[in-house]
Amino acid sequence: MSNSHNGYKRVSGDAVEYEVFARKARVDPLHLVGSVVAPDADLAMAYARATYDEERWCEMAIVRKEDVIRLWSPGES
């Protein structure tokens, strides 16, 4: 059985990293549970839901990692 992926390219150019946030209850803050790499937001949503569905989250959201504005990073505070 062949496994040819020749000719396929990721959908919108270069793949993008998305951070995945979730919370289990309304009173909890959203927290970072991981990340996925995908070429567009649709696929990133599908990947996030498939990868991080081991908990019963009441909310899940994704954001492009490059859109996160960092005030400082580890070692800079």
**Interacting residues toward other proteins by CB under 8 A:** 1-5, 8-11, 36-40, 42-43, 45-47, 49-51, 53
Nearer to other proteins, 10 or 76 (CB): 10
CA pseudo-torsion sign 35, 9, 50, 48: positive
Nearest-approach distance from CB 4 to other proteins, in angstroms: 6
Strands across the sheet containing 31-38: 31-38, 16-23, 59-64
Question: Toward other proteins, which CB reaches closer, 51 or 66?
Answer: 51
Angstrom distance (rounded) from CA 51 to CA 61: 13
CB of 10 to other proteins, least distance (A): 7
Quote the least distance from Cβ 30 to other proteins, whole Å: 19
Q: Are the C-beta atoms of 20 and 52 separated by less than 8 Å?
A: yes
